[in-house]
Amino acid sequence: MERIASKQEVRQAVAEARREGKRIALVPTMGALHEGHLSLVRAASERADYVIVSVFVNPIQFGEDEDFSAYPRDLDRDTGLLDAEGADLVFMPTPDMMYASDAQVTVHPGPLGGVLEGAVRPTHFTGVCTVVSKLLSITLPDLAFFGEKDYQQLAIVRLMARDLDMPVKIVGCPIVRERDGLAFSSRNVYLSAAERAAAPVLYRALQTAEALVLDGERDGRIVADVVREAIAAEPLVVLDYAEIVDARTLEPLDAVDRAARGLVAARLGATRLIDNIALEVR
């Protein structure tokens, strides 16, 4: 596996793979890899001949009071895991390699970036769209793989690729969970033992929403209230939001009469977690 920090060297490696007729995939990550990330690498390997994984903690998607400095980093461990998974290239730029000191242009996510996570983290999705557009421009993949845990991010990246005519297919991959249902996240390492024990309430609450819809409940407000009540019963969890939304537009649904998604975000001490679940109308 090649380990490259230079944008120019990545472009050269991609050009060589293209000359060999290979289909190229990108898996963007911020490192601190876990089973969720590795599932994306495996999905990419199944659908492409040449798999690039970027490992870059992107400073411009963190707010002023967020955890950029403390975000877990272990590049040696990450590259060992990626080597074992058979990735072809890991791209490991530094912030000054990715952003010129006088950089001025960013990519705005549009209205979808101002709701839910965007309402809580108002600059977050501009940072995401900017770095993803740069990574796509550098690596020129046929496919790019994102996890459904960050469901709003996935929806925004898909919209960005469509609206900006980016020649890449954005592939969403299922959430990977620990045995008790907690979605894998690099931030799970922040949780104390008590917070870790409380955290699966997010998924249990979403499962309750799923069961309600499967049993015929179609009032999105009722379903969302049940999720909020379930999470409120756990005293260590402070809810940011729990919403039932259209799976494509992320607009809140009064009536669950189409493909929908239950989305939650909550804080456990200093740690903020998100999760979601598909709500299928049958």
Q: Say whether both 45 and 68 belong to one domain.
A: yes
Q: Is the pLDDT of residue 265 over 90?
A: yes
Same domain, 197 and 89: no
Q: What single letter denotes the amino acid at residue 30?
A: M
Pairwise CA distance, residues 264 & 205, whole Å: 9
Q: Is the pLDDT of residue 1 over 90?
A: yes
DSSP class of 218: -
What percent of the chain stands above pLDDT 70? 100
Which range of residues forms the domain containing residue 215?
186-276
Q: Which tokens go with 108?
A: 């705005």
Answer yes or no: is 169 within a domain.
yes
Using the predicted structure, report yes or no on whether residue 282 has a pLDDT greater than 90: no
| CATH at residue 81 | 3.40.50.620
Query: For residue 33, is pLDDT > 90?
Result: yes
Where is pLDDT greater, at 163 or 64? 163
Query: Which one of the listed residues 34, 37, 108, 124 is annotated catalytic?
Result: 37
Which CATH number goes with the domain that contains 225? Answer: 3.30.1300.10
Kindly state the DSSP code that residue 247 receives in the 8-state scheme.
T
Share of the chain above pLDDT 90, in %: 98
Is the confidence at residue 171, as pLDDT, over 90?
yes
Mark whether 141 and 61 lie in a shared domain: yes
Q: What integer is the mean pLDDT of 131-156?
A: 98
- State whether residue 63 is helix, strand or coil: coil
Looking at the fold, whether 47 and 123 belong to one and the same domain comes out as yes
| Same domain as 127, residue 212 | no
pLDDT of residue 82: 98
Catalytic residue status for 124? no
Condensed to tens digits (0 to 9), the pLDDT of residues 39-91 reads 999 999 999 999 999 999 999 999 988 999 999 999 999 999 999 999 999 99
pTM (predicted TM-score) = 0.96
Measured distance CA(89)–CA(7) in Å, rounded: 12
Please say which residue of 139, 173, 207 terminates a domain: 173
The pLDDT of residue 281 = 87
Residue 217 binned pLDDT confidence (cut-offs 50, 70, 90): very high
| 4-18 mean pLDDT | 97
Helix (H) or strand (E) holding 147: strand 143-147
Q: Identify whether 94 is part of a domain.
A: yes
Mean pLDDT of 198-205: 98
Are residues 145 and 238 located together in one domain of the fold? no
As beta bridge partners, residue 114 has none
Domain match, 162 and 231 both: no
Q: Are strands 24-29 and 50-55 parallel, antiparallel or unpaired?
A: parallel
**Nearest C-alpha neighbor of 156 from the set 141, 140, 172:** 172
Clarify whether residues 211 and 166 are in a common domain.
no
Within this chain, do residues 6 and 131 fall inside the same structural domain, yes or no? yes
**DSSP code, position 103:** -
CA distance 242 to 216: 20
User: Is the same domain home to 45 and 129?
Assistant: yes
- Domain co-membership, 70 together with 162: yes
Asked if 108 and 233 sit in the same domain, the reply is no
Residue 181 resides in a domain: no
Domain contains 178: no
The 260-268 sheet, strands edge to edge:
238-246, 260-268, 271-279
